Amino acid sequence: MQTKEFLKLNLEWATEKVLLLIEEMKDAPLTFPTPNGGNHPLWVLGHLAYSEGVILQERMLGEPNPLAQWKDIFGDGTEPVDDSNVYPSFDQVMAKCREVHQANMALFDSLSEEDLDTPTKFCEPQHKKHFGTYRQCFQFVANHWLMHRGQVADARRAARRT
C-alpha cells in the first residue's frame, strides 16, 4: 500500500466517525461537553470546516480560505457560546463543511504520491515540521478531525445520549 492510500483511508475514516457523532447532535448542537463549557458540536463542526481552509487552501496552496468569513466564530482562539444567533444554522454549517471537505478530497485524489511531497506555499518556519509538505497538511487534517472527536462524544454524554 502506498502512503497516499493509507492517508486517504485516514481522512475518510476520521471524517466519517466525527460527522456521525455530530449529526446525532443536530437537535442539541450547543450542548457543552462539560459543566464548565468546552467545544460544543456546532462549534466543532464549523471549526473543522474553517480549519481545513486554513490548512489546505491558505497554507498548502497559498489561496484564500473559502470560509474566511467564519474566522471570528470558528477560528483558533474563539470561545464557543450557547447563543444560536452567533452561528449559521446547523444545516448551513454541515452543508459548508461537506462542500469544503469534498472539494479537498477531490484535490487529494488529483495528486500523485510524489505530489504529496510538494512544499507548501505558505508555512511559517516554526510550523514546517507539521505543515511543510502537502502530505503533512493532509495528515494534520485527519488528525485534527480525530482530536475533536472526544469533545463531541463528551457533549453527547452531557446530552444523555447513548
pLDDT tens digits for range 33-82: 999 999 999 999 999 999 999 999 999 999 999 999 999 999 999 999 99
The CA distances from residue 7 to 3, 59, 65, 138, in Å, are 6, 19, 22, 8
Q: Is the pTM for the entire model greater than 0.75?
A: yes
Is the domain covering 3-158 a CATH 3.40.640.10 domain? no
pLDDT tens digits for range 79-127: 999 999 999 999 999 999 999 999 999 999 999 999 999 999 998 888 8
**What distance lies between CA 138 and its chain's CA centroid?**
11
